[in-house]
Structure 1
Amino acid sequence: MVADPLSVLSRVFGFPQFRGVQADVVARVLAGERTLAVMPTGAGKSLCYQLPATMLAGTCVVVSPLIALMHDQLRAATAVGISAATLTSVDENRAETIARLRAGELDLLYVAPERASGGHFRELLAETKLALFAIDEAHCVSEWGHDFRPDYRLLGPLMDAFPDVPRLALTATADAHTRADIARQLGIPADGMIVSGFDRPNIRYAITPRDQTTRQIADLIAATPGPGIVYAQTRAQTEKLAEALGRSTGRPTRAYHAGLDAAVRARNQADFVASEDMVICATVAFGMGIDKPDVRLVAHAGLPKSIEAYYQETGRAGRDGDPSVAHLFWGADDFARARQRIGEVEPERQAGERQRLAAMGALVETGGCRRHVLLRHFGENPTEPCGNCDNCLGSGTAVDATETARKFLSAVFRTGQMFGATYIEQVLTGQSTERSLMNGHENLSVWNIVPLEEAALVKPVVRALLLRDALRTNDHGGLEFGPGARPLLKGEATLSVALAPRRERRGKRGAPVAANPADNPLFEALRARRRELAQEAGVPPYVIFHDSVLRDMAAQRPRGRAELALLSGIGARKLDAYGDAFLQVIRAA
């Protein structure tokens, strides 16, 4: 080592100081220790191996789960002057990369777990001086993790073949059980675990029942400038949403799913990565491979499979630290389908899957702070409301609906557990129909027992009862009791529901997020110059500089390279490559 970490951080990456636990992680890596770092998305995990890779003798081998993610990280590393390469099935320069590796010319080599675990690759590493093993998205090694990848299990034996090489595992989404399993699988001691806070304070969380989903998401997009991701649950839905949202919002939209032609899929992804305002509608396969920091919006058109998945998917918003929105639209049928899927998995996995679904239900159902539910799931104990979720901001009202729930359950029981929600609501509110007359239900004790002022509670109560598994839908669409019904009817449980606010005019909802809140024309001119430079270099605009760097330029108006170099995020390589171009824009303003 020829320098201290802080000087390298400033010279190479352009940052005056480390963030969060970065300094602790880097210190352990440089000392040759084995480490598991659990850090939220956007906290700078990649820097924890990129910086040591420039200081240690040898090559840092980075295992990453997706080719697209490796190529994004390669662009970012190369942009700051790090000697890096990928070794993937789509790279045409594999022979050149292997030669550079053997010659000791690479600081970083990115590989997929399938390649890393192979015998030929181990033989190649035996001919190489190694500085570090870095295992990205390390939750994939654990069956408790939400993206389990069997090939990750072979990384422990690979690293054991090189016992003197330090190892660093990184993840953003791992509860206590998963963390312990990762450490065990990868041979990391208990005292080698560094857990940062899971909070992403710049993300505004909101959860709303579905009601004309396309219109709801269109309103959200209209209120939120910048790139966005909309997660849909089926391939067909991604294409339908992309077409409808593009037509209704005027924003560029694309679909992304595994069924698309590979060339189309790659082009759509590349267009999104390079865009400053595109919305991509995708299945959950999209995103892990995207290292795009300026995503301002993540919307879910259906229920994620777990809180871990929700946290990771929403964490793709606002990785640059700017204000962003994560909005989930759900329906009671999401929970019914999830319970059906649980019944189809191996018996030994069902208990864990039910726990995951119950945790997701608690997040959806809460009338309190959403962030509290998220953070407590990952072992934190927040005390103050976050002030940046829909419940804290008062966009809905939580009310005790226990009595209405008992009335509804009673009506389901007394009508024989064979009718749907609409008919039960008609019985409770005394709406006479040919069917109610024919069945004699107008003579029941539950007929017309819900007054007009209480009727607005019925639909949210039905959603909540289905969510809690107090009600289930049978094969004919009728409602029947689930295991959660008895505690409510016996007075052993209560039920509260959150009432959504009255819909406002289009474009007024959501959380407006402006990339340029001061409406500074210099900032827009700098963004235009960045766009030109990115096109010339064939990289996304954020690889040149993040918006936050351009805002600092617009606010401080540096007069020369020396002043420009003082701004956070401008290292020596980028100063040489792009400094003069941006100074020209500033001087012309």
Structure 2
Amino acid sequence: MEEAKVLSTLKEYFGYDKFRPLQQKIINSVFEGRDNLVIMPTGGGKSICYQLPAILLPQVTLVISPLIALMKDQVDGLTANGVPAAYLNSSQAVADQEAIFQKIEKNELKLLYVAPESLQVIDRFLSDGLVSLIAIDEAHCISNWGHDFRPAYTQLGYLKNRFPSTPMIALTATADKATRTDILKQLNIPKAEKHIASFDRKNLSLEVRPGIKRFEQIANFVGQRKNESGIIYCLSRKTTEELAAKLKAKSFKAEAYHAGLSHDERIRIQDDFINDHSHIICATIAFGMGIDKSNIRWVIHYNMPKNMEGYYQEIGRAGRDGLPSDTLLFHSYADVVQLQKFASNAANEEVQLAKLDRMKQYSEALSCRRKILLNYFGELKQEDCGNCDICKNPPKFFNGTTIAQKALSCIYRLKGAEPITTVIDVLRGSHNEAVLSRNYQNLKTYAVGSDISWHNWQQYIIQLINLGYVEIAFHKKNHLQLTPLAKNVLFEGEKVQLANVPDRKAIQEQAEKKAARTNSSLFEKLRQLRLKIAREEDIPAYLIFNDATLKEMEKERPMSDEEFMQVNGVGRQKMQDYGYRFIKEIIAFSKEKREKKGAKKGKTYKVTGELYKEGLSVEEISVKRKLAPTTIFSHLVKLYDDGEDIDLSKFVPDSDLQAVKNAKAELNEPGSLKTYYLHFEEAIDYQTIKLALKILEKKEA
């Protein structure tokens, strides 16, 4: 296939001028008739690897996909781009299915999405010559080694036998070496070319926090991102419902999603989220695989995931458009114990426990989290990422022996019979019921740590747990108890190095300022327009343009059809459908900004005039307004031109005024201020010359 044709198709239907890494190589391999295995992170552009060839190949491309919602989303997106596509599932009427088959026979369809359970339905209608390409999406589902094994996928091995001359492309976002090998074996494509993209999603920030007072932290987190979409993953159905109810009570648009809901209810919740009617989904891991929503800006894990693959796939649902997005993981030992119980009943218990242990190590790390994550998938990185909580606030260690002794002594005097919250309350000298009802105010350790904040005590005690001095007795209501190592600190002089706790208030204030700036931007105006059009057409907003495309519009400010077509993500069909309205919004915003700037400028010189009339000197006005003296003089000149009572002569000595007057008469064509400046051999400064000329101009008038 000619490269020019492939690139023009990329721009025409998908709106991009160039490919992402590996995409073109994979597409060329498909056109050459080879089988391919593609390991590419969520949001890395896997879909284009088979969707673009499908447009140019002579017959239909068959796409095996695990979920109806995922199929519907993909088909809606293709249709919006002008690509003929359809999906087939068991819930459709026979007449609807027949209409699809007729389109295939007439060669009017480019892509057909099918669930693995529906393969038997199409087998009777498709022959080898009618299928140009077979794509297996979420291919890790076929492997027992994968983290999301699905029995229905095991039948896919027959496809290569059924269509031996048809190239096959298997795609997944997460697969370690064992899973990759198994996918090729199960699909009968042992000689497939392997394309493994970088797992590094640089746009995702990674953060881990202790799992204490989670709701308060979540409410604060989402409060700074009110108009942004996000997912909160929970271990249990009950937690999803309780969390969603609490968020609703605080006026957040939140919904709970889990497998216990009816089919219709799950579809409604998914559609509301996709169409931005709700912003937050509190879900079990059943949610998200079928969501191709590109503008999810954050993902929170309320509970710790059971392995790194699941964690990576779930955080990968944020920022699929490549824009900065946040991920937050809450870590607690109670979650670890719960997940250990789940793993103990599994057939591959040993593997699951080992994977859980790696997840735990990631959560407790004091080194770059992205390096740990990438190393897990075999992508070895030497440098730190700069976009995780550890890199942004690298721990600085100090001699925390005294703090450790206070905490350990308090736990000892409480006889290991209280959880972390009560331990901290005693250390800080709280007067609440938990303390006073048990007479803990009489303990020697009561209020010995009143100078340290609640949050910081929480962080220090968690560090002591990680260092092995303290353990949590989960079977005794999460009571903190000393380990044998604690006596080394309490009685034998062992020193303890603790990490400084980052200033969360400063970080929060910074985030709030950033959110305030974002809400008044052109991006927000374009986002509102996109939402309005989405409501009118009853399609998800991100299918019109994704956030990355809106960001580029904000930066480039296209004001003509030609300029608009240059924006990444704008194809011919979308230019025709939406270009006029977006260009109109950009022009209106630019005009409004110019007017505001003019109004602001007008207001600022009048403030200077008021201060001048109060008798303040130029230097005093300059200090008060935090503006340069030259700016203050320019304000006074403007007021002077407007006829205000400004005496410029007091800023120009009589001798300098006469010198400028003489120079003006001598110089036939005085020209610029620089002409005067050079004429006086730099003896009179620019500001004085400028003011003198203004005075003379008015006298002559």
SS state at 1:270 partner: helix
CA contact (8 A) 2:460 2:498 kept: no
Change in 2 beyond 3 A, CA 1:497/1:231? farther
- Which is worse superposed, 126-135 or 49-58? 126-135
Q: How far apart are 1:533 and its partner, in Å?
A: 2.1
What one-letter code is carried by the residue in structure 2 that aligns with 1:293? S
Bigger RCO (CA 8 Å, 6+ sep): 1
Q: How far apart are 1:166 and its partner, in Å?
A: 0.4
2:116 maps to what in 1? 113
Matches within 5 A, 1:33-112: 33-92=34-93, 93-112=96-115
Aligned-partner Cα distance in 1 for 2:244–2:385: 32
Deviations 1:501-547 (A, max 9, x none): 455389537687659749434x4443333223222222111111123
Aligned-partner Cα distance in 2 for 1:237–1:229: 14
CA contact (8 A) 2:472 2:479 kept: no
1:210 maps to what in 2? 211
The number of residue pairs the alignment matches comes to: 568
Aligned-partner Cα distance in 1 for 2:503–2:66: 43
Deviations 1:344-363 (A, max 9, x none): 222xx111111111110111
SS state at 2:216 partner: helix
Matches within 5 A, 1:129-528: 129-189=130-190, 192-224=193-225, 225-248=227-250, 250-275=251-276, 278-346=279-347, 349-394=348-393, 456=457, 459-461=461-463, 463-464=465-466, 473-474=474-475, 500-501=501-502, 503-504=504-505, 508=509, 517=518, 519-521=520-522, 523-528=523-528
Aligned-partner Cα distance in 1 for 2:547–2:353: 42
Unaligned runs of 5+ in 2: 430-434, 490-494, 590-701
Q: How far apart are 1:582 and its partner, in Å?
A: 2.5
TM-score, normalised relative to structure 1: 0.84
Deviations 1:275-319 (A, max 9, x none): 187112111111111111111111111111111111111111111
What one-letter code is carried by the residue in structure 2 that aligns with 1:547? D
What one-letter code is carried by the residue in structure 2 that aligns with 1:98? F
Aligned-partner Cα distance in 1 for 2:397–2:140: 35
CA contact (8 A) 1:460 1:497 kept: no
CA contact (8 A) 2:27 2:50 kept: yes
What one-letter code is carried by the residue in structure 2 that aligns with 1:508? E
What one-letter code is carried by the residue in structure 2 that aligns with 1:243? A
What one-letter code is carried by the residue in structure 2 that aligns with 1:232? C
SS state at 1:36 partner: strand
2:539 maps to what in 1? 539
Alpha-carbon RMSD across the aligned residues, in angstroms, is: 4.0
Deviations 1:83-123 (A, max 9, x none): 1000013344222112222332211011112223x3x4322
- Which is worse superposed, 504-513 or 208-217? 504-513
CA contact (8 A) 1:226 1:277 kept: no
What one-letter code is carried by the residue in structure 2 that aligns with 1:314? I
CA contact (8 A) 2:61 2:132 kept: yes
- Which is worse superposed, 225-234 or 306-315? 225-234
Q: How far apart are 1:411 and its partner, in Å?
A: 12
Aligned-partner Cα distance in 2 for 1:483–1:94: 69
What one-letter code is carried by the residue in structure 2 that aligns with 1:112? A
Aligned-partner Cα distance in 1 for 2:525–2:477: 60
Aligned-partner Cα distance in 1 for 2:399–2:285: 35
SS state at 1:179 partner: helix
1:491 maps to what in 2? none
Aligned-partner Cα distance in 2 for 1:79–1:462: 55
SS state at 1:508 partner: helix
CA contact (8 A) 1:367 1:398 kept: no
Aligned-partner Cα distance in 2 for 1:27–1:232: 41
Aligned-partner Cα distance in 2 for 1:536–1:424: 54
Q: How far apart are 1:375 and its partner, in Å?
A: 0.5
CA contact (8 A) 1:227 1:276 kept: no
Q: How far apart are 1:238 and its partner, in Å?
A: 1.3
Change in 2 beyond 3 A, CA 1:557/1:42? same
Aligned-partner Cα distance in 1 for 2:276–2:5: 37
Sequence identity, in percent?
Answer: 38
Change in 2 beyond 3 A, CA 1:45/1:505? same
TM-score, normalised relative to structure 2: 0.72
What one-letter code is carried by the residue in structure 1 that aligns with 2:549? V
Aligned-partner Cα distance in 2 for 1:543–1:215: 34
What one-letter code is carried by the residue in structure 2 that aligns with 1:580? Y
Unaligned runs of 5+ in 1: 489-493
